[in-house]
Every structure is written in C-alpha cells, then in structure tokens.
Amino acid sequence: MSSFLEIRGLSARLAGTGQRLLRSVDISLPAGSVRGLVGESGAGKSMIGKAVLGVLPKAVEIIEGEILLDGQDLQKVSPGERRRLIGAKAALIPQDPLTALNPSRRIGPQITDRLVDILGWTKARAAARALEVLAEVSIPEPERIMRLYPHELSGGMRQRILIASAFAAEPKLIVADEPTTALDVTVQKQILKLISELQARHGTALLFVTHDLGVVSKVCDTLSVLYAGKVVEDTTVERFFAAPQHAYSSALLAATPRHTDPSSSLKPVPREVTDAVAAEVAVDDTTWRPNGGVRG
Amino acid sequence: MLDGRGSIRRRAGARLWLSALWLALFVLAALLAPWISPHDPLAQDLMLGRLPPAWMAGAEPGYWLGTDSLGRDVLSRIIHGARIALIVALIAGTATCLLGSTLGLVAGFYRGWADRLISRLVDIWMAFPPVLFAILLIAVLGTGLTSVILAIVIIDWTRFCRVVRAETLNQSKMDYVHSAKVAGFTRLRTLVAEILPNVLPTIIALLTLEMGIAVIVEAILSFVNLSISTDQPTWGGMIAEGRTSIHQAWWVLVFPLIALFFTVLAFAQFGDGLRERFDPVLR
C-alpha cells in the first residue's frame, strides 16, 4: 500500500558551507496516520516539514532523494505546479500563533482567501466553510471573530484559528511545526486534543514536528527520531515507549522530566551516547557540528 | 495595557487634530488664495514700502503682516505662496513615495540581483550632498515648477527606498508570509496583499514627512533663486528677499518662515498621528 507522503533518501545541505542538514531521510506517512518527528534543536525535524511544504530557505539545497506527495514527485514538477499541488493538498499549522496571522488583515479573509484564490471556491461557499471550521474548533461567535484583527484575540484563540484555517480546505496532509511550543501549558493540552480530534474526524495525515516526547505519546501513531539530520530510529509509538531500540532514543526518553517523581533530577543525554550517535551518523563528514542547525 | 493604550490614543489625538487643523488652513489658503488674500500679491507701491505688522506703530490698516521693501502685502504673498508649496508637497511627495516605496518593496521582498542593484544605487545616491545635487539638477533641467518636482523625486526616493526595504525584509521573515507561501499564493500576491498592508503605516508616515521636506527643498531652491520665476510668490523666495532687509523689516523674513516651519512640522506630526491612530497593531 502506498503512503500519502513518501520521502525517500532525502539529503540536503547548506549551499554556502556545504554543511549537511539532512542525511538520506526515509519517512512514509499513510493517509490518515500521524507521525511524530522528534530530535533536539538543529536535528533537522523542522527542515523536513519545510521540504515537504516546499518552503525551504533559499540557502538550503536538496542534493538527492525524492518527496512524493500523493504519488507525485515534488522535485520533478515546475515551481508553479509545486506551489499549486502543495496548496491544494497540504497545509501548515505554524509554531507561533502571534506572528502566523497577518496583523493588518481581518481574520475572515485570512481563512477564505486561500479557498477562493487557490481552490477556486465561490466567496459565499468559502465564508460558509470558514464559519463551519471556526465552530469546529470551538470558537464562540465565529461571525464576529471573522471581522476582528489578530491582535484582538488571545494566543490560544489565534492558534485555534490557525488550526481551523489549516483544516478549512480539507487537506490530505497537515504539517504541524511545534504547534504548542509558543503556548501556555494549560492551553497546550486543549490545543493538542483539538488537533487530535480534528485529525481523526477528517482522516488527515499529520506530520507532527516536536521536541516533546510527552506530546508524541498523546498524538502520534509512529515516530522518527532524528539526530544530526539522520533518522536514527523509525518505530511505532507503543514500541518506542516500551523499548526504544537505539541508544540515543533511550537516552532521549530517559531525559524526559517525570512529573510523577518531582524529587528525581533531570537526566541529560550522556556524552558517550551523543558521541556514539554522532560517529554513527556523520561518518567521514567534517562539516558536522553539534547544534549547527539552521532555522528557516 | 488598556490604560497605556488609552493614554497613547489621547496624546495622538491632540497632535493629530492640531496638525490637521493647520494643514486644513494651509490647503484652504492655497485653494482660495485669489479670493481671500486682501491685496494683489504682486502689486507694488513704493509709498507703502516696509510697513510694519498691524499691531506696531506706523502700521497701515489692511496690511496685517506689513509689506516688503517694494510695498507688496506680506500676508497676501504668504497666502499665494501656499499654492506652490501645496503643489510641490502633493505632487513631489506622492511621486517620490511611489518610486521609492516600489523599489524598496521589490528589493526587500525579492532580494537577489534586484536587491543588490537597488541597494547599490541607493548607496551611490546617498553619497551626493542633496542640496548641491538639487542645484546641479535644476541647472541641467532648467528652472520651473516641473524641474523642482523632478529634482525632489530624483533626490529623495532613497529615503523611502531604504526604510521600506528594511521594513519589507522584517515582514518577509514573519510566519504569515511563510503561511501564504504554503497556501500556494504567488509571490506578487503575497507582496501586495500580505506585506504591503503591514508596511503601509510606515509608508504613510514617511509620505507626510516627505511632503514637509518637499516644501523645504522648494524653499531652499527658491532661496538660491533656482525655483519658480520671481513673479510667482513663494515662501523660499520671500525669505531670500527678506534676508536683505532683516534689520529694517524683520517681518518680511519671519512670517513666511513661520508659515514654512508650522507647515513642515504639521506634515510630520500628522503622519505620526495618523499612524498611531490607524495602525491596527499600534506599534
């Protein structure tokens, strides 16, 4: 059975220095399933999300590999074609709800513009759909909210709007780039629940980029652990939390703070483990530096 | 937060209304000059030369702000001078804004060779001393209103270009631009519909500032006798003429100077006031 999103042997590097950012990454995401991408800062998890959505920074170049979205290789189509393909089939739930909505424009058109301009819906249909999805993410008085500016709403409300906006066009794939990182802990939980519910109801495939293993255990079916741009473990969530296969995965899991035992101290990933995984991942690579990642 | 915002609003209000009031007077004076000025601004009467303003000893009734050495009414000349100032402010200001902002948006958003070309051009432009550049341009283009406007546009577009480019660069990094890209919008649509509304408050503030600057530049060019022909009263021209008789008749110099000062100040304050009042983000 072929997956909705299939990444095969994807490698990328920084154009100027030649620093490797992704090393032969394989990820497959069947329609309707949720995969977590975890790893520390600079491991390349956001980079994969950006590659899938065709918004890699200009300085990043893909060396080899393919990204198949619904069977079509994104590397082989024209930029305009790629833009329309991604716009119609995929969507993004961004990290920071405070900057992801245009501050100078009202909420309504920010949701409907895409439906009208890219998907060719009528204005009335797009407006009706916007009201529908806003209600679905439990936003009170959606008609009123659509006339407001983003600064008139709280961070949690804005993230709900962004989620609604992502689901508005019924995409087959959503990339969620640390969607709860910028939020209050109490709001985080609600937002996660909301994303999970919507994902299940709409049968959307979800690529969930996060550094929070707690989040992964709640939301994901499968996960890929990344280190220095390489997938070091590709497994299901049950198997991962029961018995991680890779030494780095176990160390990462052990480093997660436990709320059940406040007296236990935080365990950093031991140096031997990072050295070992670095050696394994970056054989013969002089360009690799710890935490040398690039943010787009 | 509400309190802080409220107080900012109130202050912006006073500033906005005062500057708007002065600008309204200025525009009315310019539009209605032939009907409201008490005398013909060009009529000379050597018998009435260097009359002081109305409240001083030796004043002649009807000549509120006195007369210059040729006996021309200062108030009437200021009112007529507002016409040239208004035309220059509107046309030169707007044209400068359009040229500079467009180049700034293109450079800041598309980057690459366009940005390199435009930025180098700005650097080169900035190396010229502006007033000398203006004088040189007028010498080449010839005197006259069109030349003055052209000179202002050619010199001052960099002011818009630099600021708008920087602001566009800033906005381009925002996540909403990223989201627009993911959504599949074209680059041009993203620039015009997403970024421009966020840069617009800056552009408007700059535009009003530029209108004030245009009035000053016109005055400077009049002062060195390179602007409009001498039979058309201008504030700069009046200041230049008043300079020679500052000890005998200070009013010939001071009143156009006051008009110039308040107009330039009002333009700048009006722009800032507008921005604080209407920018939804209230930066």
Band of the pLDDT at B81, cuts 50, 70, 90? very high
Please indicate, yes or no, if residue B283 is contained in any of the structural domains: no
Residue pair B89/B30 in contact (Cβ under 8 Å)? The answer is no
Query: Which pLDDT score, from 0 to 100, does residue B6 have?
Result: 45
**Mean residue pLDDT across chain A:** 86
Over residues B66-73, the mean pLDDT reads 88
Contacting B with CB below 8 Å, chain A residues are 53-55, 58, 83-84, 86-88, 90-92, 94-96, 99-105, 110, 113-114, 117-118, 149, 151, 162, 296
Domain spans, chain A:
5-252+265-281
**Per-residue model confidence as pLDDT tens digits over A39-52:** 888 788 889 999 99
**pLDDT attached to residue B103:** 97
Report the share of chain A in percent with pLDDT over 70: 92
How far is residue B39's CA from residue A22's CA, in Å, rounded to a whole number? Answer: 81
What is the distance in angstroms between the Cα of B94 and the nearest Cα belonging to chain A? 23
Token pair in block for residue B241: 């003429």
Q: Which tokens is B59 given?
A: 């004043």
pLDDT category of residue A59 using cuts at 50, 70 and 90: confident
pLDDT of residue A293: 42
Averaged pLDDT, A237-243: 89
Identity of the residue in A84, A94, A113 whose CB atom sits nearest the CB atom of B175: A94
Closest CA of chain B from A82, distance in Å = 9
Q: How many Cβ atoms from other residues are within 10 Å of residue B122's Cβ? A: 20
How far from the centroid of its chain's Cα atoms is residue A278's Cα? 24
Question: How far is residue A201 CA from its own chain's centroid?
Answer: 19
Per residue in A123-159, pLDDT (tens digit) is 999 999 999 999 999 999 999 999 999 999 988 899 9
**What is each CA distance from A247 to A39, A131, A283, B20, B279, in whole angstroms?**
14, 48, 17, 70, 53
B127: exposed, middle or buried (C-beta count within 10 Å: 0-12, 13-18, 19+)? exposed
β-bridge mates for residue A72, sequence order: A69
CB of A118 within 8 A of CB of A88?
A: yes
Which tokens belong to A92?
Answer: 């993004």
Give the mean model confidence (pLDDT) for residues B127-153: 87
- Tell whether B133 is within 8 A of chain A (Cβ): no
Mean pLDDT of B63-77: 89
Domain count, chain B: 1
Q: What is the pLDDT of residue A236?
A: 92
Does B192 contact chain A (CB < 8 Å)? Answer: no
- CB-hemisphere CA count at 13 Å for A289? 9
Domain of B200 in residue numbering reads as 2-278
Predicted confidence (pLDDT) at residue B283 exceeds the cutoff of 80: no
Put simply, the answer to whether B198 touches A114 (Cβ < 8 Å) is no
pLDDT score, position A139: 92
Categorize the per-residue pLDDT at A1 as very low, low, confident or very high, splitting at 50, 70 and 90.
very low
Indicate if the pLDDT at residue A238 is higher than 70: yes
Q: Which residue of B has its CA nearest to A171?
A: B183
Q: Give me the pLDDT at residue A155, please.
A: 87
pLDDT at B207 over 60: yes
- pLDDT (0 to 100) of residue B230: 67
Residue A28 to residue A224: CA distance in whole angstroms:
10
In terms of Cα–Cα distance, which of A215, A207, A213, A209 is closest to A244? A213
Residue B19 structure tokens: 């500057």
First-residue to last-residue Cα distance in chain A = 33
Domain assignment present for B153: yes
Task: Identify the top-confidence range among A54-58, A254-258, B88-92.
Answer: B88-92
Per-residue pLDDT tens digits for B19-44: 999 999 999 999 998 999 888 888 88
Lowest mean pLDDT among A210-214, A238-242, B137-141, B229-233: B229-233
Confidence category of residue B190, pLDDT binned at 50, 70, 90: very high
Q: Do A102 and B198 touch (CB under 8 A)?
A: yes
Q: Is the pLDDT of residue B5 over 70?
A: no
Q: What percent of chain A has pLDDT over 90?
A: 43
Q: Is B183 on the interface with A (CB under 8 A)?
A: yes
Give CA angle at A105 (A103, A110), nearest 5°. Answer: 105
The residue among A82, A89, A99 with the most chain B CBs within 10 A of its CB, best to mutate, is: A99
Which of B169, B174, B178, B182 is the best mutation test for A, with the most CBs of A within 10 A?
A: B182
A5-252+265-281: which CATH architecture? Answer: 3-Layer(aba) Sandwich (3.40)
- The CATH number of the domain holding residue B42 is 1.10.3720.10
Contact assignment for A55 to B184 by CB distance below 8 Å: no
Using a CB–CB cutoff of 8 Å, tell me whether B110 touches chain A.
no
The verdict on B182 touching A (C-beta cutoff 8 Å) is yes
Give the distance from residue B122's alpha carbon to the nearest chain A alpha carbon, in angstroms. 25
**Closest C-alpha among A46, A73, A54, A61 to residue A16:** A61
- On whether any CB of chain A is under 8 Å from the CB of B179, the answer is yes
DSSP states of A183-199 as a string?
S-HHHHHHHHHHHHHHH
What mean pLDDT is reported for chain B? 88
Residue numbers in B near A104 (CB within 8 A)? 197-198, 200, 280-281
Given a cut of 60, is residue B232 above it in pLDDT? Answer: yes
